[in-house]
Amino acid sequence: MINKILYRTMALLSVLTGLYPIIYFLINRRFGLLSTKTPELLHDLSWNINFYIHIIFGGMALLIGWTQFNATFRKKNLLLHKRVGKLYVISATLSALAGIYIGYFATAGMLAALGFMSLGVAWFYSTLMAFTTVRNKNIVKHQKLMIYSYAFCFAAVTLRIWMPLLIGILGDFNTGYTIAAWLCWMPNMVVAYFIIKSKKI
């Protein structure tokens, strides 16, 4: 029962956050984190291309990734599982690489930038290795790596939980944002490790 509640909560948060990028196409984008960016950066073509690649494909990865962990669905729809998996790998790879680029321009400085760029590298590497291992028919290792990959993907959700908490507690945006740049994904990695251990994959 607890596992079902946690899974459904994860699914709901993933869907809501995955749909969030739509807002940037409906209203003036000078809100949230973008309100902290300089006008020069917001008009930079390379940054904008990578920003939209990151949020569109990252949102797609969040929206579809959680479905891959439903064992019943996976067994009954193996072909669909493979197709969704390929779409996730493409989306995650593009979003991670773009995330590394835009991470360099993090508002709060180099420490925050390193946090987001490290997340991008970890997400890209775990996704690439997950794809490589399944191509080599190593299903067990593939499953482990995909758990890690989605844990890094889920940082989009946990970032939006940590940021208001830290900024509210510390009373300073830059400090809270810098800490959130690391807390949004490092605990997720630990949780993924214990999920793998508990499932004895």
The answer to whether 68 touches 88, Cβ cutoff 8 Å, is: yes
Give the integer Cα–Cα distance in Å for 152 and 124.
Answer: 9
Query: What's the chain's Rg over C-alpha atoms?
Result: 17
For residue 76, the model assigns a pLDDT of 86
For residue 73, the model assigns a pLDDT of 82
The answer to whether 189 touches 158, Cβ cutoff 8 Å, is: no
Give the integer Cα–Cα distance in Å for 62 and 153.
Answer: 7
pTM of the predicted protein model: 0.92
Q: What single DSSP character describes residue 22? A: G
For residue 201, the model assigns a pLDDT of 56
Domains of the chain: which residue ranges?
A: 2-199
The answer to whether 83 touches 77, Cβ cutoff 8 Å, is: no
Tokens at residue 138, please? 């190593």
Look at residues 163, 153, 200, 169 and name the one whose alpha carbon lies nearest to residue 183.
163
Write out the chain's pLDDT in tens, 201 residues.
Answer: 777 898 899 999 999 999 999 988 888 777 778 888 999 999 999 999 999 999 999 999 999 999 999 888 888 888 999 999 999 999 999 999 999 999 999 998 999 999 999 999 999 999 999 999 999 999 999 999 999 999 999 999 999 999 999 999 999 999 999 999 999 999 999 999 999 998 765
